[in-house]
Amino acid sequence: MEQVENVPGDHAHGQCGSVDVSHCMFFETIPNEKKAKLVFGLEWRAYATKGGASERRRYAQEFAATHYAEIKGKEETVAGFCAPEPGERKGLKLYSAAARIAMLERVRTKPAVLVLIQDNQRVHVVLVVRGTVRTDEDVSLSALAARREAFEDECEKDRIALVTLGHGPDLGDVDEPFAVNELLLGKGVGLITKVPVKVPKAVPLLVIGIAAIYGISQAMDVINPPPPPAPPPPTYMQEYQSAVARAFAGSVPLASMLAPKLMEAFGSQETNRRGWQVEKASCGVAGACSILYKREGGTFRDFDANALPAMRPVVFEKDGLRLQTTGPAVPAVKKVALSQAKEWPTEQMLIRQLQTDPQRLSTRPDALESHGYVVTLQAPQRLLARQPAAGEVTGPIVQAGDWQIDGYMWQSPLLARLPDSMSLTTLELELKDDGTGVHFTAKGKYYVLQ
């Protein structure tokens, strides 16, 4: 995909050759709208609004696009092109996620905004410069750091202030959090429609051109020698080392350090504010936490007028009963160290360590009375899914498993006792209505050697 010199992915003003847009899209379901989906990965171009129909047709032909979405301005129009398969669009309304992001107020008011939305091991990347979509693509989580660095370097070179918004646990540092429900604010924005069809006037010339290109390509195949044989596939241990590097290159903060710090941060938060009561709070491993309030007699207007700068943006839900604010920043702590793997407890040692009598809080020898403190461990799995052949494995192999701990705030000191082989992924707090206080759910990964 060709890029211009100013900003990486500056597709809105660049000149590039034919691009196939039929295999680069990603579809996300829109909550509460069964027949609508958000689409990432359109190819964007800009052209003059006056006489834009011919330019639109030209770009659609270059990209073999069948559908497009437009952001119209007085002087300039920006359009994203795509070619969804019939099965992907049958009976559905498709909306461009990048167009909705570009029309958000807090995006349009900034010189340049980079929005990152994590989806498991993939990240949707949307770059908006001065209100124009420049990049709308999907990258792997492992390639994200290099891509972000390229955007930042180019923006710094061109003296454009870049603000990064992010949603996801493994994105690293971001300037501001991005709530995915912001994509639902502009319900009719970014509608993807079919490109109007106009019968070309030079069909014979087109056929001749295609035949000539095909003939040249066939001749080149005859002239050029066959390519060298492909290199041998990587061994199991080579693939395993790559999988380990990917696993520990992301955010793997120590659960025993991050969980207590987050608990301490929320301990100083007000649970009631301007007629609104904290209902839930959610934290990842980077950026800022989010807090969900429920109405207890207050109004949106009064809460918004008295919201602290650190609480913004304030997002109001459609039902009028809840709102969401930005919570405390997630502190930086030490990570799980692969260099200390030999000191990690085995799976059985970990079970005994987590299920000691003080942590069970039992008072009867014949029954487990955990008083709400429950530890759940899933069986560990190898970081590399494929099975090795006989003799391929040398040395111990790192395995990872999911863990979850549920408890109440008064039991949170137990989290500081977790071993150094456990990382935290998310922490959620909920104020129970039954008078039992604040309940927490901590989730993460634990690592053992096989």
For the beta carbon of residue 170, count every other beta carbon within 10 angstroms.
19
Which H helix or E strand runs over 387?
none
Q: Give a yes or no: residue 167 inside a domain.
A: yes
Q: Are 423 and 253 in contact (CB under 8 A)?
A: yes
Residue 406, in any domain of the structure: yes
Q: Which of 149, 174, 194 is the last residue of a domain?
A: 194
Q: Domain boundary residue among 143, 160, 194?
A: 194
Q: What is the pLDDT of residues 41-52, one digit of tens each?
A: 899 998 888 888
Residue 166, in any domain of the structure = yes
For residue range 260-303, list pLDDT tens digits in order.
999 999 887 888 889 999 999 999 999 999 999 999 999 999 99
Residue 62 lies in a domain: yes
pLDDT by residue for the chain (450 residues), tens only, comes to 233 333 333 444 433 444 556 555 677 777 777 788 889 989 999 888 888 888 989 998 988 888 999 988 888 899 999 988 888 888 888 999 999 999 999 998 999 999 999 988 999 999 999 888 989 999 999 999 999 999 999 899 889 999 999 999 988 888 999 988 888 877 788 899 898 876 555 556 666 767 667 767 676 666 776 788 888 888 888 888 888 888 898 889 999 999 999 999 988 788 888 999 999 999 999 999 999 999 999 999 999 999 999 999 999 998 889 999 999 999 999 999 999 999 999 998 988 888 755 545 444 444 445 667 888 889 999 988 888 888 888 889 899 999 999 999 888 898 999 999 999 999 999 998 888 889 999 999 999 998
Interatomic CA distance for residues 370 and 350, integer angstroms = 18
Q: How many domains is the chain partitioned into structurally?
A: 2
Q: Reduce the DSSP state of residue 311 to 3 states and report it.
A: helix
Q: Is residue 389 part of a domain?
A: yes
Any domain includes 205: no
Pairing state between β 122-129 and 132-140 = antiparallel
176-213 pLDDT, tens digit per residue, is 999 888 888 777 888 998 988 765 555 566 667 676 67
Q: Looking at 83-131, which runs of residues are DSSP E strands? A: 93-96, 112-119, 122-129
Element (H, E) at 237: helix 236-249
432 found inside a domain = no
| Residues forming beta bridges with residue 189, ordered by sequence position | none
Q: Measured between alpha carbons, how far is 300 from 293 in angstroms, rounded to an integer?
A: 11
Cβ atoms within 10 Å, residue 174:
20
Choosing from 194, 219, 244, the residue where a domain stops is: 194
- Straight-line distance from the first to the last Cα atom of the chain, in angstroms, rounded to the nearest whole number: 43
As given in the structure block, the two tokens for residue 26 are 């990603």
Find the domain containing 391 and state its range.
334-425+440-449
Reduce the DSSP state of residue 122 to 3 states and report it.
strand
Domain-embedded: residue 295: no
Task: Give CA separation, 339 vs 335, 375, 420, in Å.
Answer: 11, 27, 12
